[in-house]
Amino acid sequence: PPVGGTMNFPLYFAAAAVFGTDVGTYFDLPSANAAVPVAKGGANVVKGVLEFPNTGASSAQIHFRLPDDWTGIISAKIMWSSDAVVGDMKWNLATSFTDTSNVNDPDDNAFNTADTVTQTVPSNANDEIEASIASITTTGAVAGGICNIKISRDSADGSDTIADSVFLTGLEIVLRRLV
């Protein structure tokens, strides 16, 4: 890209990892209504995922530092699958930002209203699916600050019609940076 332009800077966060018979997550989990780290795979490939059950609301969070040359736009791709072959899935992605010079409690900022994406599950169980949000809410964000992202599912939402668990494989965040 020419000097003075922008370039995409992707960050990929795997949902979880398998360690022998143990599964751990890279995401921060709340004390209640948390997504559950589980192992998925076949005879050759095994991977950790976060299970969002069909039993109400569940969530997980990730955080990272925004680069000093961040331009103000963030997009997201949610990689997921389900055992279900019928229904729609509604993902919620909410952001909260902390300015590193913030004199308030940096760990208790309110989340912005969630951006959402609804997607129909494919007719083949366990197919990997990508759901995209072209521009997520950045109210309160500053270059060099901390971005907190909460990904959630509320299976009681009328737009979420999958009568089964869904599994988060990973989250790709794309930042725009100056060059």
Would the pLDDT of 20 be above 90?
no
Across residues 98-126, what is the average pLDDT?
Answer: 84
Look at residue 158 in the predicted model and tell me its pLDDT: 94
Which of 8-12, 96-100, 134-138, 155-159 shows the lowest mean pLDDT across its residues? 96-100
Cβ(88)–Cβ(174) below 8 Å: no
- Which pLDDT does position 136 carry in this prediction? 97
* Predicted local confidence at residue 108, as pLDDT: 74
Q: What is the pLDDT of residue 106?
A: 58
Q: In the structure, what pLDDT confidence band is assigned to residue 1 with cuts at 50, 70 and 90?
A: low
Q: What is the mean pLDDT of the chain?
A: 92
pTM, to two decimals: 0.92
Residue 100 pLDDT > 80: no
